[in-house]
């Protein structure tokens, strides 16, 4: 995309900037600490905080949204009347799909702010590990390369490596769709099915995610990078993942309501699953793993029945070339 704002964005790399982070949960707080450690001025806003939204974003060179998916549409509506300058970069770090529109957060921001640079921050980023200062990497994806570079410099640090991408939708979808798969892997682990089963499940989930992601406009190679395969591995192999814990709890016989109450925070995969199924039905895409997760979350089948259904599918060839061309069923 042509980048007429190059000089402005480039100036953001030359010294401390003012960054507004909207959402003071674990992820927003972790990102605030990263930016603060790089000597940037950070305003951390929440609905129950001490400053208003207009105060938080006033004069900010970068505004980053880290609210849950459910809060994104309302947040965007509140931001629209604030006359945010087009030189302000808008970043979304939320992973989810809007039930009303089936849009990702960046697409919702794009509709509301068509003249702004919209970036996506996504990767294998468990917030608890980042807060502990453990090494991690992420992707800053934006169609404006200089805007991506500016955001990249804000968060890059000794233990947090940032990479650029020009595929914000693909980066966002990789981080969103893997949450559904993490529920399935949590079930596999909760049933003690072993490493072989877990490895097979994650591997077969990748083409499923790619099928949906590329049909919606993401680039195939993006799903093989940090915001795709990298995030899939992190979320599917760590009990720090809330979505993994949902699947694990269901396999232990707990109700979904009990699990969510114990988590005390959002597991985006629970809300993403029905939207993903609606998209798959609309686009006529086969998503067998996600379909079993959907049935499990609705209480139609047990965890054991979900895994059995996947093992009993018709025998077929493993053909990833067709998946890369967007023409096969996983």
Confidence at residue 321, expressed as pLDDT on a 0 to 100 scale: 65
Rounded to an integer, the average pLDDT of 200-217 is 95
Could you give the dihedral angle defined by the CA atoms of residues 102, 106, 108 and 113, in that order, rounded to the nearest 10 degrees?
-160
CATH number, domain containing residue 224:
1.10.1040.10
Residue 254 appears among annotated catalytic residues: no
Q: Given 178, 254, 298, 316, which residue is catalytic?
A: 178
| Residue 128 in domain | yes
Residue-level pLDDT at 1: 46
pLDDT value at residue 107: 97
Q: Is residue 152 part of a domain?
A: yes
How much is the pLDDT for 328?
A: 44
Domain of 308, in residue numbers: 175-324
Looking up tokens 């993942």 gives: 241
Structure tokens at 147: 């805007």
| 145 and 244 belong to one structural domain | no
Q: What is the mean pLDDT of the chain?
A: 92
Nearest CA to 173 out of 102, 236, 118 is that of 102
How far, in Å, CA of 317 to CA of 306, rounded? 22
Helix (H) or strand (E) run with residue 16 in it: none
Whose structure tokens read 């697409």?
107
With a CB cutoff of 8 Å and minimum separation 6, the contacts of 54 are: 82
Residues 6+ apart with CB under 8 A from 7: none
Choose the final residue of a domain: 112, 144, 166: 166
Q: Is residue 70 located within the same domain as residue 147?
A: yes
320 is a domain residue: yes
C-beta of residue 205 within 8 angstroms of C-beta of residue 213: no
E runs forming strands in 49-128: 62-65, 89-92, 118-122
Decide if 1 is inside a domain. no
* 181 and 153 together in one domain: no
Is the four-CA dihedral 207, 209, 215, 220 of positive or negative sign?
Answer: negative
Number of domains making up the chain = 2
pLDDT at 297: 97
Residue 38 located in a structural domain: yes
Ranges 93-107, 114-128, 299-313: which has the least confidence? 299-313
Average pLDDT over residues 261-265: 91
Model pTM score: 0.91
* Domain match, 21 and 144 both: yes
Q: Do 151 and 237 have their domain in common?
A: no
Give a yes or no: residue 300 inside a domain: yes
The burial class, CB within 10 Å (0-12 / 13-18 / 19+), for 14 is exposed
Judgement on whether residues 152 and 224 belong to the same structural domain of the protein: no
Percent of the chain with pLDDT over 90: 87
Q: Is 220 in the same domain as 149?
A: no
Structure tokens at 179: 């949450």
| Whole-number pLDDT of residue 323 | 60
Half-sphere exposure of 77 (CA within 13 A, CB side): 5
Query: Is 12's pLDDT higher than 90?
Result: no
**Do 51 and 26 contact (CB within 8 A), yes or no?**
no
State how far the Cα of 218 lies from the Cα of 221, in Å rounded to an integer: 9
pLDDT digits (tens, 9 = 90+) for 166-204: 999 999 999 999 999 999 999 999 999 999 999 999 999
Q: How far apart are CA 181 and CA 185, in angstroms?
A: 6
pLDDT per residue over 299-321, tens digit each?
999 999 999 998 876 666 666 66
Same domain, 294 and 147: no
According to DSSP, the β-strands at 136-142 and 118-122 are: antiparallel
The answer on 194 and 133 residing in a single domain is no
**pLDDT reading at 252 higher than 70:** yes
pLDDT category, 327, cuts 50, 70, 90? Answer: very low
Domain termination residue (choose one: 129, 147, 166): 166
Both tokens of 306, joined, read 């979900």
Domain boundary among 142, 166, 190: 166
Both 63 and 189 in a single domain?
A: no
Mean predicted confidence (pLDDT) in 47-64: 96
Strands 160-165 and 41-45: unpaired
pLDDT exceeds 50 at position 40: yes
Note whether residue 201 is domain-resident: yes
On whether both 125 and 15 belong to a single domain, the answer is yes
Helix (H) or strand (E) holding 204: helix 195-215
> pLDDT tens across 14-33, in order?
779 999 999 999 999 999 99
Name the pLDDT band for 4 (thresholds 50, 70, 90).
very low
Whether residues 52 and 196 share a domain: the answer is no
Of 65-79, 80-94, 309-323, give the lowest mean pLDDT range.
Answer: 309-323
CA distance 162 to 293: 32
pLDDT at 311: 81
Residue 267 included in any domain:
yes
Q: Measured between alpha carbons, how far is 29 from 32 in angstroms, rounded to an integer?
A: 5
Q: What is the CATH number of the domain that holds 22?
A: 3.40.50.720
pLDDT at 43 over 80: yes
């Amino acid at each position: 995309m042509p980048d007429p704002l190059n000089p402005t964005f480039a100036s953001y790399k030359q010294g401390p900037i003012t960054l507004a982070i909207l959402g003071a949960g674990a992820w927003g707080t972790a990102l605030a600490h990263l930016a603060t450690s790089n000597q940037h001025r950070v305003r951390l806003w929440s609905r129950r905080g001490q400053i208003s939204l207009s105060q938080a974003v006033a004069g900010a060179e970068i505004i980053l949204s880290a609210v849950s998916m459910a809060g994104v549409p309302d947040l965007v509506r509140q931001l629209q009347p604030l006359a945010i300058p087009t030189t302000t970069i808008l970043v979304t770090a939320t992973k989810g799909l809007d039930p009303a529109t089936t849009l990702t957060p960046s697409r919702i921001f794009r509709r509301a702010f068509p003249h702004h640079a919209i970036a996506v921050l996504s990767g294998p980023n468990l917030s608890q590990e980042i807060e502990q200062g453990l090494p991690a990497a992420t992707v800053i994806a934006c169609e404006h390369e200089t805007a991506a570079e500016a955001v990249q410099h804000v968060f890059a640090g000794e233990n947090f490596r940032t990479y650029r991408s020009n595929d914000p939708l693909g980066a966002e979808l990789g981080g969103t769709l893997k949450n559904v798969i993490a529920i399935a892997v949590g079930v596999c682990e909760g049933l003690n099915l072993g490493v072989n089963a877990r490895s097979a499940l994650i591997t077969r989930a990748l083409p499923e995610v790619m099928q949906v992601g590329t049909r919606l406009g993401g680039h195939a190679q993006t799903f093989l990078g940090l915001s795709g395969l990298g995030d899939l591995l992190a979320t599917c192999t760590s009990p720090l993942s809330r979505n993994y814990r949902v699947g694990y709890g269901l396999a232990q016989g707990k109700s979904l309501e009990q699990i969510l109450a114990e988590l005390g925070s959002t597991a985006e995969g629970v809300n993403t699953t029905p939207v993903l199924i609606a998209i798959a039905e609309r686009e006529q895409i086969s998503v067998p793993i996600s379909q079993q997760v959907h049935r499990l979350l609705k209480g139609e089948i047990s965890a054991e029945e979900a895994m059995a259904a996947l093992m009993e599918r018709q025998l077929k060839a493993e053909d990833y070339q067709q998946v890369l061309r967007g023409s096969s069923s996983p």
